[in-house]
């Protein structure tokens, strides 16, 4: 799938983080992925795709929120089983690509097709039988909800934090106009991707001081009205790393519980 693939030298890696750069057909250029690879691994290890928000990149979840250290502590305590965290760049278009299929580059295919394949190349315990999950924050929450719903047959669970719930909300955060996204439709929404699908387990949460709180409540109400099973939670906090650093634990516990039921 990749003409070239480069990984960080193990001599210089730290805290079980590994950096990968591949030549992506979807991006029509190179794409970066930060991987958290737990030291205790078995074949068919679970993989969690963690999507970052606007202004960020592949390093955001680890070096902005320390998620790899959180996951390691939870694994060591037995709270969750070992799982790989795959944290890709969104493709670095403008302030944020939205993880959408633009006409000139397909940031959706990059996430759902190429990133999983890169993980399986780099981590030998990640296989075609590995369960894949998806989560994210803000723009990444939008990506997780929309892509998790659209590719419901691939993902075993979906979780989102402080999510943008429709494309138009990107305008609150980015410098680019929505027209500049050059996408086929501007009707992209989380509800549209989730309603009418045979979904895997789904959860999302939002902070009580978050500007996206009303949008998340609306999405919750829409899902309830259509009888779609899900868990929605609200916590103290805003649209900030302190909130995401704490509540990414809820995503990891949620995914672990899905694995335990299987």
Domain map (residue ranges) of the chain? 5-261
pLDDT tens readout for residues 196-208: 999 999 999 999 9
Q: Does residue 184 surpass a pLDDT of 90?
A: no
For residue 79, the model assigns a pLDDT of 98
pLDDT tens readout for residues 108-150: 999 999 999 999 999 999 999 999 999 999 999 999 999 999 9
| Listed residue (247, 253, 261) closest to 80, CA to CA | 253
CA 206 to chain centre: 16
For residue 84, the tally of other CB atoms under 10 A from its CB is 25
Q: Does residue 1 surpass a pLDDT of 90?
A: no
Confidence bin at 186 (pLDDT 50/70/90): confident
Confidence bin at 185 (pLDDT 50/70/90): confident
Q: Does residue 159 surpass a pLDDT of 90?
A: yes
Q: Does residue 262 surpass a pLDDT of 90?
A: no
Q: Does residue 234 surpass a pLDDT of 90?
A: yes
* Distance (Å, whole) CA 85 – CA 200: 19
Mean pLDDT, residues 191-198 taken together: 96
Query: Phi, psi (5° rounding) for residue 181?
Result: -65, -25
Give SS3 for 17: strand
Confidence bin at 26 (pLDDT 50/70/90): very high
Mean pLDDT, residues 43-56 taken together: 98
Q: Does residue 179 surpass a pLDDT of 90?
A: yes
For residue 136, the model assigns a pLDDT of 98
232 contacts 205 by C-beta, under 8 angstroms: yes
190 contacts 136 by C-beta, under 8 angstroms: no
Determine which helix (DSSP H) or strand (DSSP E) holds 49, and give its type and residue range: strand 47-51
- Domain 5-261: homologous superfamily in CATH: Alpha/Beta hydrolase fold, catalytic domain (3.40.50.1820)
Average pLDDT, the chain: 97
Number of H helices, E strands in the chain: 7, 9
| Listed residue (1, 39, 223) closest to 116, CA to CA | 1
């Amino acid at each position: 799938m990749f003409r070239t693939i480069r990984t960080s030298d193990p001599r210089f890696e730290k805290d079980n983080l590994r950096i990968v750069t591949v030549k992506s057909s979807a991006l029509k250029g190179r794409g970066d992925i930060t991987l958290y690879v737990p030291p205790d691994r078995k074949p068919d290890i679970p993989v969690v795709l963690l999507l970052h928000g606007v202004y960020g990149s592949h390093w955001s979840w680890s070096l902005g929120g320390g998620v790899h250290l959180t996951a390691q502590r939870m694994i060591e305590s037995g709270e969750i089983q070992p799982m790989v965290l795959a944290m890709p760049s969104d493709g670095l278009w403008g302030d944020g690509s939205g993880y959408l299929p633009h006409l000139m580059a397909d940031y959706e295919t990059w996430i759902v097709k190429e990133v999983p394949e890169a993980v399986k190349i780099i981590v030998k315990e990640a296989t075609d039988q590995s369960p894949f999950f998806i989560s994210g924050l803000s723009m990444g929450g939008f990506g997780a909800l929309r892509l998790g719903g659209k590719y419901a047959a691939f993902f075993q669970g979906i979780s989102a934090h402080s999510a943008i719930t429709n494309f138009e909300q990107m305008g609150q955060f980015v410098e680019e106009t929505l027209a500049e996204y050059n996408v086929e439709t501007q009707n992209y929404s989380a509800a549209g991707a989730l309603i009418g699908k045979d979904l895997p387990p789904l959860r999302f949460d939002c902070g009580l001081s978050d500007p996206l709180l009303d949008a998340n409540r609306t999405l919750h109400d829409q899902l309830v009205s259509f009888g779609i099973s899900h868990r929605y939670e609200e916590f103290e906090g805003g649209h900030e790393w302190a909130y995401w650093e704490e509540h990414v634990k809820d995503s990891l516990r949620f995914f672990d519980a899905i694995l335990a039921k299987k």
